[in-house]
Amino acid sequence: MSQDDFFIGWADTPRTDRRFFLGAGLALLGGTGAIAAAVASAQNRPGPGTWAMGDVREWRGFASAAPYPILRLGTADDPPDFALLGCQGKCGVSARIGSHAGTPVIVKGSLIERGPYKMIAVVDGMDWIRADEDTTDAAAPLPDLETLGEVTLRGEILDSKCWFGAMSPNQGKVHKACASLCIRGGIPPAFYVQDRRDQKALMIMTDSGLAHSRDLLEFVADPVEIAGTLQRQGPLFLLDSPVSAIRRV
Highest mean pLDDT among 8-12, 151-155, 196-200: 151-155
Look at residue 12 in the predicted model and tell me its pLDDT: 75
Residue 86 amino acid letter = G
Nearest to 240 by CA among 150, 167, 175, 160: 150
202-236 per-position pLDDT tens digit: 999 999 999 999 999 999 999 999 999 999 998 89
Look at residue 142 in the predicted model and tell me its pLDDT: 84
Which pLDDT band holds residue 84 (cuts at 50, 70, 90)? very high
Nearest to 95 by CA among 80, 85, 81, 82: 85
Highest mean pLDDT among 3-7, 27-31, 106-110: 106-110
Share of the chain above pLDDT 70, in %: 92
CATH of domain 146-248: 2.40.50
Highest mean pLDDT among 5-19, 34-48, 154-168, 191-205: 154-168
Look at residue 47 in the predicted model and tell me its pLDDT: 64
Average pLDDT rounded to a whole number, residues 47-61? 88
Spatial distance between the Cα atoms of 158 and 77, rounded to a whole number of angstroms: 33
Average pLDDT rounded to a whole number, residues 150-179? 90
Contacts of 14 (CB under 8 A, 6+ apart): 4, 5, 7
Q: Tell which wins on pLDDT, 230 or 34.
A: 230
Contact 225, 249 (CB under 8 A): yes
Which pLDDT band holds residue 125 (cuts at 50, 70, 90)? confident
Share of the chain above pLDDT 90, in %: 57
Distances, alpha carbon 243 to alpha carbons 34, 61, 155, in Å: 44, 32, 15
The sign of the CA dihedral 155, 159, 165, 169 is: negative
pTM of the model: 0.79
CATH level 2 (architecture), domain 50-131: Beta Barrel (2.40)
Look at residue 66 in the predicted model and tell me its pLDDT: 87
Domain 50-131 identical in fold to domain 146-248: yes
Examine the pLDDT at 127 and tell me if it is beyond 70: yes
Look at residue 22 in the predicted model and tell me its pLDDT: 87
Distances, alpha carbon 122 to alpha carbons 6, 204, 217, in Å: 72, 20, 24
Highest mean pLDDT among 16-20, 41-45, 92-96, 241-245: 241-245
Give me the residue spans of the domains in the chain: 50-131, 146-248
